Amino acid sequence: MSPDPILREEKIRVLVADNSRIHTRLLADALRRDPLVEAIPFESEAAGLVAEAVARNIDVLVMGANFDDQSSQGFEILRELRKARQQTHGVLLLTSSKDELILKAFSAGARGLFSKNDPLELLSKCVREVHAGKVWANHDAISLAVDALASAPTVRTSNPNGMQLLSKRELQVVRYLAEGLTNREIAEQLNLSQHTIKNYLFRIFDKLGVSSRVELLFMAFSQADVPALAPSEQLPENRGTRGSSETELNFIEKSAEAGIPAAQLALAQMRLFRRRDANDLVEAYVWYLVATERALHARGMITKMLTPEQIEEAKHKASVRLSQFKRNSAKSSARFPQQIVSN
């Protein structure tokens, strides 16, 4: 008799913690009904939660937002956990759907938002999705995050040279990140340790003034001076987006589908940047058409608000900036020779 396939698959290690021991046990019992989940209730002081997650190599932490009658302590614990063990994804149990709590949860690094009013049988599905690198939240929460991103200040570097601040090795890391690789996969491609890749990312964040992989991706896709991978650096055809990078890809796609022009342009450039097959080129063209159409609409609205003199001034400034972009792109091409794939 062949072994049960479920037993051969590694279980998802889940640590469950809430401000009530009874509720913690109920949540753990509900998760144990899933044969692919190993649920561990945490019944000690909240101060030891991060150490417990690290010691047990926890994959997903399901936790309440409040501990020991301290409001929002869960958010702080989640931030500490991200610093101590980035492989552990967090699911926050929220008792309220207030906008500020949802944004605070995403800001703390939560990958999943689960309402305590949701059916318990959905919790294991939430855990599976988060463990797979996806974001679990309802439509209203996602829309709120997208709106917050759209209204946030545009990410810019203090140096007009943009990506030219980075060394050749740092640019390689950015390019592989844009290809959808995880830290482990980038380390394999460059024959380095994951710790070294993390250090490179910290230095890249510091140089460019960004604070997350999502911001870095938006910047990379909007810069004209990030060369594509040279033929010798191209990835095998079967290497795809997975792991934590799947979250960034999903977020950009949802932002694009929600109508954010910056995300639409970023998604178009991402597809063109990868060029794995003809479908990537088609999708790139589709999103370029969508982004261009919306940009032209916005341009028409703004034109009606300007005087002829202001329009001429804007055209002159745009011409100067386009010339700067072309010069930067030419310099980058000279530094990193590459084969251009034409269609």
- State pLDDT tens for residues 215-241: 676 666 555 444 444 444 444 444 443
3-class SS at 323? Answer: helix
- DSSP assigned state of 193: -
The answer, yes or no, to whether residue 334 has pLDDT greater than 60, is no
pTM above 0.85, yes or no: no
| CB contact set of 91 (below 8 Å; sequence gap of 6+) | 60, 61, 62, 63, 110, 111, 112, 113, 114, 126, 127, 130, 136
Alpha carbons within 13 angstroms on the beta-carbon side of residue 70 total 10
pLDDT band at 342 (very low <50, low <70, confident <90, very high): very low
Give pLDDT, residue 265. Answer: 75
| CB contact set of 106 (below 8 Å; sequence gap of 6+) | 113, 141, 145
Give pLDDT, residue 59. Answer: 93
Cα–Cα distance measured from residue 95 to residue 20, given in angstroms and rounded to the nearest whole number: 13
| Domain spanning 162-319, CATH architecture | Orthogonal Bundle (1.10)
Alpha-carbon distances, residue 12 vs 38, 117, 127 (angstroms) = 6, 24, 8
The answer, yes or no, to whether residue 116 has pLDDT greater than 80, is no
Highest mean pLDDT pick, 215-219, 294-298, 313-317:
313-317
Give pLDDT, residue 246. Answer: 53
The answer, yes or no, to whether residue 272 has pLDDT greater than 80, is no
Give pLDDT, residue 307. Answer: 86
Give pLDDT, residue 45. Answer: 83
Higher pLDDT among residues 46 and 89, named by residue: 89
According to DSSP, the residues that pair with 41 across neighbouring strands are: 16
Beta strands in 76-224 (DSSP E): 89-94, 110-115
Cα–Cα distance measured from residue 248 to residue 180, given in angstroms and rounded to the nearest whole number: 9
The answer, yes or no, to whether residue 343 has pLDDT greater than 60, is no
Fold matches, 7-151 and 162-319: no
- Which string of b and e fits 99-120 if b means at least 16 CB within 10 Å? eebbebbbebbbbbbbbeeeee
The answer, yes or no, to whether residue 314 has pLDDT greater than 90, is no
**For 5-16, how does the pLDDT look when each residue is reduced to its tens digit (9 = 90+)?**
444 458 999 999
For residue 94, give the amino acid letter: L
Higher pLDDT among residues 316 and 341, named by residue: 316
Domain 7-151, CATH number (from 3.40.1130.10, 1.10.443.10, 1.10.10.10, 3.40.50.2300): 3.40.50.2300
Give pLDDT, residue 230. Answer: 45
- Burial tier of 198 (Cβ tally within 10 Å: 0-12, 13-18, 19+): middle
**Domain assignments of the chain as residue spans, ordered by start:** 7-151, 162-319
First to last CA, the chain: 53
Give pLDDT, residue 19. Answer: 81
The answer to whether the CB of 333 falls within 8 A of the CB of 227 is: yes
Structure tokens at 329: 């792109």
Higher pLDDT among residues 175 and 248, named by residue: 175
For residue 287, give the amino acid letter: W
The answer to whether the CB of 30 falls within 8 A of the CB of 124 is: yes
At residue 237's C-alpha, the angle toward residues 222 and 10, to 5°, is 100
CA torsion through residues 215, 219, 220, 222, sign: positive
At residue 76's C-alpha, the angle toward residues 132 and 74, to 5°, is 70
- The DSSP H or E segment spanning 168 is helix 168-178
The answer, yes or no, to whether residue 301 has pLDDT greater than 70, is yes
Give pLDDT, residue 318. Answer: 79
Give pLDDT, residue 16. Answer: 95
- Burial tier of 88 (Cβ tally within 10 Å: 0-12, 13-18, 19+): buried
**For 153-175, how does the pLDDT look when each residue is reduced to its tens digit (9 = 90+)?**
444 444 445 667 788 888 888 88
